[in-house]
Structure 1
Amino acid sequence: MTSTALSATTAATHRSTHLRLDGIGVSHPGRRVLTDVSLTVTTGERIGLIGENGAGKTTLLHVAAGLLVPGTGTVHRPEATGLLRQDLDLPAPTTLEQVVEQAVAEIRALEHRLAVLAAGIAEEPGDPAMADAYDAVLRDAERHGLWALDARIETVLHGLGLARLPRSRAVGELSGGQRRRLALAALLLARPTALLLDEPTNHLDDDAVDFLAGELAGWRGPVLLASHDRWFLDEVATGVVDLDPALGPDESAGGPPRQGTPSTGGYSSYLEHRELARRRWAERFAAQGQERERLQEIADVSGREIFHTTAPKSEGRITRKFYGDRAAKTVGGRVRSARHRLAALERTAVGAPPEPLRFAGFDRGAATAIDAELPLVRLTGARVEGRLAATDLELRAGDRVLVEGPNGTGKSTLLAVLAGELRPDGGTVQRQGSVVVGRLAQDDAWPDLSCTAEAAFRSRLRDGDRAPTLEELGLLRAGDADRPLGELSPGQRRRVALAALVAEPAPLLLLDEPTNHLSLALAEELERALEDFPGTVVLATHDRWVRRRWRGRVVPVRPGTA
């Protein structure tokens, strides 16, 4: 649940309030996870770690906590450093009350120490060492809020949605989300100097995320957190460190891409930094192309051009030869120089910037079959017992609809009804002809995980022979596209499912939690691609970043009666 003052041979634990990692390198069998990552988190700073799944965010947090010794580099952490892990290991019989009291045990112990020191001062009132010790413990008690501790416990449990649980409830009886929130509550109550948080907003609703954001905004020590929650990063982070290789060649021309590219400010500032880097990359690539053309033109000078600059015909033969030889040497030197520079340019050539994600055009038959004057789908009182209340909804060509509601209210059920995959128990569903529907389910189901990613992708296409590859779409590297689905991460399998909709988009797209398991960069590209998508989009998501920026229609859903 928490990790405090854990040491490693390459790490030092001391009383500094800063967290510093210098030149961190970590390798796993067959691959390098972190390469020369350096960052410093000072008192009051909140640094967000972002990057693809597998980029090393959790690994870096474990190094910072002292749970993992890096292959290279050093770590300096405050004496009290607490880690919230993604995976929890709490004994099942432990009660909620025991977890809370264990978290605040050191703070409660301050009261006993004060009583002991006060008794000592009463016996020896003139002892300055005893008085100094009492003052030091008193300062600790005030800093940790000893006399408001019980009120603090209530505030944290309420803020994280745990106040209604009986304190006698065993951890083994809690849901995964409740255990995760309990671990976060215990960490906040323990008040370590430095906080290391791995996906802290997982299993939190909007109110709990707001509470956590407020807690971190007032945290006195350094905070290092890994998160896919863009709203949270924008609200909380004072800086963002991207563990994916640097975007563009600016920092690394002629060498390996650099990890740990920092930017100041929240997630919005990071996006501006990233867009600037992308622009610089494109400008540098364009300038390189122009220089290549100029040098090639010089290098291709023909022998005939060497004699363009000669003496007038009235000059004598010897004079003409002199001028001709000098011109040949001059032009020949320019040609050799151009060829050398051209070869050097090719050795350090900047690759083309990646194309942003775009939806391909509609299949001609699917597009021409739509009558823009008529609804694509119309629900009238459609309901599913226990899952979706009676719902009226009309979708037309080009509509943008956001489906909102807490977990269990029927968002996924509504999308399944719209897709024709689920027949409602009541009400009516009217469709315009045989409108083609593309659906991205919340949990992608693959019948054969031994199938390669490329084959699985093509199995979902109407015309797999003409479609681009996963690598050409920019959604998987060639090596990963040839691996079985079962060997891929959830994020990579999500990309394969998304690829089918990108390569052959349907006029009606139904997207259920589309940003789940995606890197933040790809999630941004997907949202931009949807803005330019000419068809109809219905999107269900908990992603607060998406919901806050939504400009289309919003449809709230209610659960059906059991």
Structure 2
Amino acid sequence: MTVLAIRNLTLRIAGRALLDDADLAVDPGRRVGLVGRNGAGKSTLLRAVSGRIAPDGGEIRLAARARLGYVAQEAPAGPLSLLDTVLEADAERAALLAEAERGPDPARLGEIHERLLAIGADSAPARAATVLAGLGFDAEAQARPVGEFSGGWRMRVALARALFLEPDLLLLDEPTNHLDLEAAMWLEGWLQRFSGAALLVSHDRFLLDRCVHAIAHLDRGKLTLYPGGFGEFTRIRAERQAQQAAQNERVLAQRAHMQAFVDRFRAKATKARQAQSRLKALERLPPIEAVVEDAPTRFAFPEPAALPPPVLSLRRAAAGYDGRPVLRGLDLRLDQDDRVALLGANGNGKSTLAKVLAGRLPLMAGEQHRAPRLRVGYFAQHQAEELDPDGTPLSHMQAALPKATETQCRAQLARFGLDADRAETAVASCSGGEKARLLLALCTRDAPQLLILDEPTNHLDIDARDALVRALGDYAGAVLLITHDPHLVELVADRLWLVADGTARPFEGDLDEYRALLAERSRPEAARQEAVPTRRDERRERAEARGALAPLRERLKRVETTLAALGKEAATIDEALSDPRLYARDNPGLLARATARRAAIAREVEALEAEWLELQERLEDAA
């Protein structure tokens, strides 16, 4: 028995078929990831399953008495507290409690209490509080009216309502879009323990690899089910495409051989019968099925000019709002080859730090050094709300680059997949992914040396996320990432900064160690005290050892940066010294200075290389 059966489903939007005679079945307890390119129809399918839109053909059947949970696109609002807003999602519990308060006859009251006991009504507030806490709301926040929170936080409340119900079928549409990394990790654990069925739309590879039993691929109106997570899906799909291509080659070769025989012997009486036989065999050969491969998505950042290190640094800095500091004691440095990801829960100050580094928030105290001619590209999701809905990507780029030609503006948009047609589409008609591409094009228009990306992958499909990773790998500037996407962090970042306890500092560890730290913090105090002391001591010793090695790693990085800069300077001087025109000039002082500087660089390089070897040996001995 299936909890959801989709048969011969057809869905159309504005006359365009998103699903055409599609089939899918979801069994009880099975979690299925729904993937496909932006605009393929994934969200539309969820709305159809939830009953919000009617199909144009076929049927969608839910199991009898199955409870459905769906996170609507509209964020809840109103005077109710967060806790009451979540409890309100259980309509049966709310109705029974209201009926009990009206004082029905004793027999009915007994039935009500029996049913309340059966659905766990007494434990509901505790369960709701646990879900809210996992999504980042402390006890104080849970008592506040939901209308006081921003749209992103209210969408978390909408997610909490769906999770609290623990339905038979849970429909989730990009559930991690409004979550920080900590809340996304909590959701991952919750889904792994969830006993019901789920249909999950997500572009988060990590979530799809760890939380689903199968992948449903929506492509060209059809749904194809693949077993396993996203990694297994990509492997099987690639194998099937390769097999289809090989089969096509065999059929083509067989056709060519038979056709050559027919063309050669059709006119000969002795071979006519055989030629006719070959023609009939040609007709019986299977048709050639084209291997349809999507055109790869490509992003490209403009090449930034090189700057001397550091491009930006903070010393004893503090930042905040209205005279109240959010972050203190900031001692941080960024070089042009740095790739840094910020860790820490929402509300700890990640966006505050990003605004300081972007030059959009002045320091309250301390020092800030910015390299001359430093350009910063700042991407933030809220900027999508500032776009002119009546404008086009082209008009936005022309306003941002008033001195550029239309061709130059179109070329910058094309770097992020906004082709000629999409460049002239009204922003109001653009998808979330297209708006994100426009924001990326706008924030990199001046070829910045520092790129600050605050949740850049929200609304980008998996292919676009891969394109972003490749583009960042080729980018010659510094990158600061704020993201809930562990896949992006692991592929892009080579350093982690933890924003917590009112400051930001380097985190000497990887994402797995950070997950372990969060898991340890989330355990009840009694459980932590019962843990084996030697294991706790070992973790503390490892953390202390990493902390002791941090200055060595930092110095090693500075030495490598200085060596690279000296190497470039030496190459420039060598090129000048090899130019005969230098010696023909009547300027012996210029030649003497160039020769002296080249000798000085050689001495500096020799000393730094010796220091580099010593630092490397000390780190290896301590490992």
TM-score of the two chains, using structure 2 as the length reference: 0.61
8 Å CA contact 1:144, 1:191 repeated in 2: no
Richer in helix (by share)? 2
How far the C-alpha of 1:435 sits from its partner, in A, is 3.9
Structure 2 CA distance, aligned partners of 1:91 and 1:397?
44
How far the C-alpha of 1:481 sits from its partner, in A, is 2.0
Which of 286, 298, 301 is 1:357 aligned to?
298
User: In the alignment, what sits opposite 2:340?
Assistant: 401
* Secondary structure at the counterpart of residue 444 of structure 1: helix
User: In the alignment, what sits opposite 1:26?
Assistant: 11
Unaligned stretches of 5+ in structure 1? 1-15, 120-133, 246-256, 300-305, 307-322
Structure 2 CA distance, aligned partners of 1:442 and 1:174?
17
Q: 1:384 to 1:97 in 2, by over 3 A?
A: closer
User: In the alignment, what sits opposite 1:40?
Assistant: 25
Structure 2 CA distance, aligned partners of 1:501 and 1:99?
38
Structure 2 CA distance, aligned partners of 1:98 and 1:148?
14
* Secondary structure at the counterpart of residue 313 of structure 2: strand
Indicate yes or no: 2:442 matched with 1:490: no
Indicate yes or no: 2:396 matched with 1:456: yes
Structure 2 CA distance, aligned partners of 1:444 and 1:99?
29
Which of 31, 50, 63 is 2:35 aligned to?
50
Indicate yes or no: 2:196 matched with 1:221: yes
User: In the alignment, what sits opposite 2:66?
Assistant: 80
Structure 2 CA distance, aligned partners of 1:42 and 1:173?
40
Structure 1 CA distance, aligned partners of 2:180 and 2:206?
13
User: In the alignment, what sits opposite 1:512?
Assistant: 454
8 Å CA contact 1:442, 1:513 repeated in 2: yes
Indicate yes or no: 2:380 matched with 1:380: no
8 Å CA contact 2:394, 2:424 repeated in 1: yes
Which of 173, 183, 208 is 1:198 aligned to?
173
* Secondary structure at the counterpart of residue 242 of structure 1: strand
Residue identity opposite 2:474 in structure 1: D
Superposition pairs for residues 73-472 of structure 1, below 5 Å?
73-78=58-63, 79-88=65-74, 92-94=78-80, 99=85, 102-103=88-89, 106=92, 144=119, 152=127, 155-162=130-137, 164-165=139-140, 170-172=145-147, 176=151, 179-206=154-181, 208-243=183-218, 245=219, 257-273=220-236, 354-359=295-300, 366-367=304-305, 369-371=306-308, 374-386=309-321, 388-425=327-364, 426-431=366-371, 433-444=372-383, 448-457=388-397, 460=400, 465=407, 469=411
Which deviates more, 170-179 or 38-47? 170-179
TM-score of the two chains, using structure 1 as the length reference: 0.67
Structure 2 CA distance, aligned partners of 1:166 and 1:447?
31
Q: 1:141 to 1:267 in 2, by over 3 A?
A: farther
8 Å CA contact 2:181, 2:483 repeated in 1: no
Residue identity opposite 1:538 in structure 2: L
Q: 1:43 to 1:496 in 2, by over 3 A?
A: same
* Secondary structure at the counterpart of residue 216 of structure 1: helix
Structure 1 CA distance, aligned partners of 2:83 and 2:209?
34
* Secondary structure at the counterpart of residue 216 of structure 2: strand
8 Å CA contact 2:7, 2:22 repeated in 1: yes
How far the C-alpha of 1:496 sits from its partner, in A, is 1.9
How far the C-alpha of 1:82 sits from its partner, in A, is 1.6
Structure 2 CA distance, aligned partners of 1:350 and 1:153?
49
Structure 2 CA distance, aligned partners of 1:50 and 1:406?
28
* Secondary structure at the counterpart of residue 397 of structure 1: coil
8 Å CA contact 1:19, 1:76 repeated in 2: yes
Structure 2 CA distance, aligned partners of 1:166 and 1:423?
29
Residue identity opposite 2:368 in structure 1: T
How far the C-alpha of 1:537 sits from its partner, in A, is 2.2
Structure 2 CA distance, aligned partners of 1:455 and 1:513?
25
Q: 1:99 to 1:434 in 2, by over 3 A?
A: closer
* Secondary structure at the counterpart of residue 37 of structure 1: strand
Structure 2 CA distance, aligned partners of 1:501 and 1:275?
35
Which string of whole-angstrom CA distances, capped at 9 and with x for unpartnered residues, describes residues 371-424 of structure 1?
5xx323333334433354343332223222223333344434434444445543
8 Å CA contact 1:382, 1:429 repeated in 2: no
8 Å CA contact 2:169, 2:196 repeated in 1: yes
* Secondary structure at the counterpart of residue 139 of structure 2: coil
Which string of whole-angstrom CA distances, capped at 9 and with x for unpartnered residues, describes residues 495-541 of structure 1?
12323577875443332222122122211221133223343322222
Which of 68, 75, 83 is 2:53 aligned to?
68
Aligned length: 474
Structure 2 CA distance, aligned partners of 1:358 and 1:94?
44
* Secondary structure at the counterpart of residue 8 of structure 2: strand
Which deviates more, 511-520 or 263-272? 263-272
Structure 2 CA distance, aligned partners of 1:17 and 1:234?
23
> Please, what is the CA RMSD of the aligned residues?
4.9
Residue identity opposite 2:369 in structure 1: V
User: In the alignment, what sits opposite 1:8?
Assistant: none
